[in-house]
Amino acid sequence: MFASLLGLVGRMLNASEAQVVQLSPHQRWSIQLTQAPAEHIVDRPLISRSGEQLGSLHLHLPVPIVQTAPASRMLEDAAQLALGLLENEKQRRQQEEELQTLHSRLHHAQLLAEVTSLAQRDLSPRAMIRTIADLIGTSIDVDWAGLATYRQGRLHFESSVYQPDINPAFLDLISRNEIGALGRDVTAQSLTTHGPLFVDDYPAHPAARQSLIDAHLQAGAWLPVGEYDGAFVAILVARIGRRHPWSTAERQLLLAAAQTVRIAVERQEHARQLRYAAFHDDLTGLHNRRCFDSDLTTACKEGKTFSLLMMDLDGFKQINDRFGHGEGDRVLTAVATALTRAAAADVKVYRLGGDEFAAIQPGRVSQHQLQVYLKEVMELLRGQRIQSVGMSCGLIWCPDEAQTAETAHRLVDHRMYQEKLSRGGGGR
């Protein structure tokens, strides 16, 4: 289209060559009409009705234009044709940009929908963050995406996805975690302040690390997504070896994705805390009565052989009466620690309430094994300067002696009480 219209413009004025130059973006169209030498050049600005100069019309003429009315009209007509070319080109470019923007918004909306869907799945926080980092890394224009974990003054990095032609020096730093020391590092600042950070020119940042500058890190986005398992976690994305600042749309997309993940992590952490509180004792951290009842019922229904122990402290009431409840709490906590440390790995220990504890262990525990266990518990208590407490214990084997949770609980409680009476422990 440009060639035919330029040819028409050139022939109108007997030009040997016609050119149209577009100002923004700079572009040039030209057509050679004859081999005649161009002795004269006419340069005509192309200005739209709104007053914007879109470009210029250049005509190479073998002879000068005679300044007559017909010649002026021809030149004006030629200029209008050329201006029409540029206006059409500008409109076409604007339509392409609008279409590209629509495609980008649709793509970003689809990405956020996928992020939201993943955040609602039953995944661990780490698995969810890692999966979403993978999704982000493959959905926007980045060279590397991964995770940063900040725990006890140390940074740990983990690659998620990256371009095959990425600078190997950057991957080497990530894999060896040589940039993980605490300091004025950009990552540490972002994680500890819980704030997202976008850096368009990493080498110029005051907290940039020389090792990353040497690895050609140019732009990065740090997106904290929450805290779990005692560590702060962030999604990181980077552009390596090329200057490409983060666009407004990219920033909005990454912030929205990070916010979605952060809410999901907080929700999961809150749910985890609720589950923990529902099945653990506040004072000792042991599993509680609710957990014991559930586990005992399940074990009895499965029908596998297990040993059920019930333990009660001797002399605990006197400790509370003499030294107060603060000392009583210290004793209970020490007992819980000793019962757990002395137990085998497959034993689950519970505090049922007050000074009463229980344990469930797969298989049959002999009386000798029980005495060895209790002896070790008492030694651990003496090591914590707790001398004035004893322990009565009942033991039964299921399903040999009891097939239901109610029967098992009643029987083991009776045996513990009988032992307490035989040792002169008195009432409950």
Position 428 scores a pLDDT of 46
Domains of the chain as residue ranges with CATH: 2-94 (3.30.450.40), 125-276 (3.30.450.40), 289-422 (3.30.70.270)
Helix axes 2-12, 69-119, angle to 10 degrees: 170
Position 244 scores a pLDDT of 85
Position 334 scores a pLDDT of 94
Position 210 scores a pLDDT of 86
Q: Are 2 and 20 in contact (CB under 8 A)?
A: yes
Q: Rounded to the nearest 5°, which phi and psi values hold at 182?
A: -70, 140
3-state secondary structure the chain: CHHHHHHHHHHHCCCCEEEEEECCCCEEEEEECCCCCCCEEEEEEEECCCCCEEEEEEEEECCCCCCCHHHHHHHHHHHHHHHHHHHHHHHHHHHHHHHHHHHHHHHHHHHHHHHHHHHCCCCCHHHHHHHHHHHHHHHCCCCEEEEEEEECCEEEEEEEEECCCCCHHHHHHHHHCCCCECCCCHHHHHHHHCCCEEECCHHHCCCCCHHHHHCCEEEEEEEEEEEECCEEEEEEEEEECCCCCCCHHHHHHHHHHHHHHHHHHHHHHHHHHHHHHHHECCCCCCECHHHHHHHHHHHHHHCCCEEEEEEEEECHHHHHHHHCHHHHHHHHHHHHHHHHHHCCCCCEEEEEECCEEEEEEECCCCHHHHHHHHHHHHHHHHHCCCCCCEEEEEEEEECCCCCCHHHHHHHHHHHHHHHHHHCCCCCC
Residue holding tokens 């020096």?
169
Position 16 scores a pLDDT of 67
Walking along the chain (428 residues) 10 residues at a time, the average pLDDT comes out as 63 68 69 62 80 78 66 74 80 74 66 72 74 78 84 78 86 71 58 79 87 89 82 86 85 83 79 88 94 96 95 89 88 94 94 95 94 93 82 94 95 93 65
Instruction: Provide CB contacts within 8 A for 177, sequence distance 6+.
Output: 155, 156, 157
pTM for the structure as a whole: 0.55
Position 183 scores a pLDDT of 41
Q: Rounded to the nearest 5°, which phi and psi values hold at 65?
A: -75, 130
Position 3 scores a pLDDT of 64
